[in-house]
Amino acid sequence: MAVRERPWPRTKAGDVVASGGLSDADFDELFRGSWLSLVRLSRLLVAEVSLAEDVVQDAFAALYRRRDRMRDVAGARSYLRVSVVNGSRSALRRRRVASLALRSHRFDDDVAGADQQALANAGTTAVLSLLHTLPLRQREVLILRYFLDLPERDIAQTLGISQGTVKSSAARGLKSLKATLGEY
Amino acid sequence: MNADIEDRLRAALRNQADGTDSAVPDPAELRGKVSARRQISPAGGWMPSVAAAIVVAGLAVAITVTVNHRSAGRQALAGSAAQSPSLSDPTPSASPLATDKPTGGLSDVPQPTPQVAVSTGPLSIANLSGPLQHEIVPVNAWTIHCNGANYIVYAGQSVGIDAMARYYPTGIGSVLGVISYQPSDSHLKPFHYEGSAGLGPLKITALTCSAVSLVDTVDGSEHSYDLADQLLH
């Protein structure tokens, strides 16, 4: 099932948002509507729910401190996405040994039943384990493209790279996955 | 073939995401904490307060070490006074500084081991190291859950490391991370930090943690430590 953020509520006047910063009500709505999808995004990057929650919480705290500078909700969403990706990257950097362990298997905070495990071994876990062996940039590009369905332009903006780099990173990542998944 | 890989990747990512659940905290609480933090630190952000805390801690350690050195020097002088008539006169000098500067007999005295005094009452970041230090078995990679606000984590390979390693670069051990969160920054749940040691014993200098649990993320073993006894004396 695709993860979708809830559409932003419109004001009585019909405008999408009031310009010039976020009100507390705006913030709360954005928080409630985006929390889970951002945790899921971060979790795909860092492979641990509790760490993902910290990353997202930090992103929202930073957003709230800068709420006066947000032009609109779209800008706030974009800020959150960048903040979560960057925060996840920083968290991964601090956890290099654990990330090595990830290459061998796991998403350790999920304890699946035996039947689920058998199915997972053939599918999700295998793909995700391979995904985590890719260089960080390729992994980020693939997650943003295939999880959030972001267009190349938005991926480039989120990661601070060119669209050409997005394209080449995605191609290399898919090629690597294909080469290994062909064995499964 | 690419389409097949793309489909499998998309399905795997979404399966994984759908299996991830997270209770949405109360945004008002987060707002309140961020606002409270702002009032504490007019400069905004947590970096200034962390920097200030580190400077204060460094000064506190340095002062304590200096005091201990001086104290040891006085003891040494007192000890050698019996054999040294020139130092046996207990009359204090007119300048207090003069008594703080040992002039003889000190070269034979072994250098005292720096120690940091433990204060009573609520702990502050200045009270680093010494008896507050807690040594934990070597781990591969670790996750720390701390129910308090401030703590410092670092790894080293030898005993006797304390927080002074942070301020005396020649000290043994390397600092893995310095976390100094004020209560208003601790967000909505016990603070959580993780990293990797891999070098040797992991030491935690906990300041306001009353309990720390450490999970070896490689073998899954969990170690819990109650630091309350150490923190409250």
For the stretch B134-184, pLDDT in tens is: 333 333 333 444 443 333 443 332 222 232 223 222 222 333 333 333 333
User: Which residues in chain A have their CB less than 8 angstroms from residue B192's CB?
Assistant: 50-51, 54
User: Which residues in chain A have their CB less than 8 angstroms from residue B188's CB?
Assistant: 57
Cα R_g (chain A), whole angstroms:
18
pLDDT band of B53, cuts 50, 70, 90: low
Percentage of chain B with pLDDT > 90?
0
Q: Which helix (H) or strand (E) holds A65?
A: helix A49-65
What pLDDT is recorded for position A95?
63
pLDDT band of B121, cuts 50, 70, 90: very low
Higher model confidence: residue B22 or residue B200? Answer: B22
What pLDDT is recorded for position B183?
32
What pLDDT is recorded for position A38?
93
Q: Chain A contact for B25, CB < 8 A? A: yes
As a whole number of angstroms, the distance between CA B62 and CA B164 comes to 9
pLDDT band of B97, cuts 50, 70, 90: very low
What pLDDT is recorded for position B224?
52
Of the candidates B123, B158, B150, the residue with the CA atom closest to the CA atom of residue B212: B150
Nearest beta carbon to residue B16 from set A24, A44, A65: A44
What pLDDT is recorded for position A145?
93
Higher model confidence: residue B16 or residue A142? Answer: A142
Higher model confidence: residue B97 or residue B170? Answer: B97
Token pair 């793309």 in the structure block, residue: B6
Of the candidates A12, A95, A139, the residue with the CA atom closest to the CA atom of residue B217: A95
What pLDDT is recorded for position A30?
92
What pLDDT is recorded for position A96?
55
What pLDDT is recorded for position B136?
39
Judge: B16–A35 Cβ closer than 8 Å, yes or no: no
What pLDDT is recorded for position B223?
52
CA distance B6 to chain A (A): 8
User: Which residues in chain B have their CB less than 8 angstroms from residue A147's CB?
Assistant: 10, 13-14, 17
Q: Mean pLDDT, to the nearest integer, of B80-105? A: 34
Judge: B34–A65 Cβ closer than 8 Å, yes or no: yes
Q: What does the buried/exposed string (b/e) look like for B102-122 if buried means 16 or more CB atoms within 10 Å of the residue's CB?
A: beebeeeeeeeebbbeeeeee
What pLDDT is recorded for position A2?
41
User: Which residues in chain A have their CB less than 8 angstroms from residue B217's CB?
Assistant: 98, 101, 108
What pLDDT is recorded for position B94?
33
As a whole number of angstroms, the distance between CA B39 and CA B23 comes to 28
By C-alpha distance, the chain B residue nearest A59 is B30
pLDDT band of B91, cuts 50, 70, 90: very low
pLDDT of B63 strictly over 80: no
Of the candidates A137, A134, A35, the residue with the CA atom closest to the CA atom of residue A86: A137
Task: Say how many CB pairs under 8 Å bridge A and B.
Answer: 131
Nearest beta carbon to residue B22 from set A3, A53, A123: A53
Please report the ipTM that was assigned to this predicted complex. 0.72
Going from the C-alpha of A184 to that of each of A116, A120, A134, the distances in angstroms are: 18, 13, 17
Nearest beta carbon to residue A97 from set B45, B177, B198: B198
User: Which residues in chain A have their CB less than 8 angstroms from residue B12's CB?
Assistant: 123-124, 127-128, 131
Q: Could you tell me if A52 and A9 are in contact, meaning their C-beta atoms sit under 8 angstroms apart?
A: no
Number of other CB atoms surrounding residue B230 within 10 Å: 16
User: Which residues in chain A have their CB less than 8 angstroms from residue B19's CB?
Assistant: 110
Mean pLDDT per 10-residue interval, chain A, length 184 residues = 39 41 88 92 85 86 87 88 89 58 40 41 73 89 91 91 93 89 64
Q: Could you tell me if B19 and A110 are in contact, meaning their C-beta atoms sit under 8 angstroms apart?
A: yes
Angle between helices A24-46 and A73-93 (to 10 degrees): 30
What pLDDT is recorded for position B80?
38
Judge: B9–A124 Cβ closer than 8 Å, yes or no: no
Q: Cβ neighbours of residue A69 under 8 Å, at least 6 residues apart? A: A21
Nearest beta carbon to residue A128 from set B16, B21, B188: B16
Average pLDDT, chain B: 45
CA distance B142 to chain A (A): 8
As a whole number of angstroms, the distance between CA B16 and CA A152 comes to 23
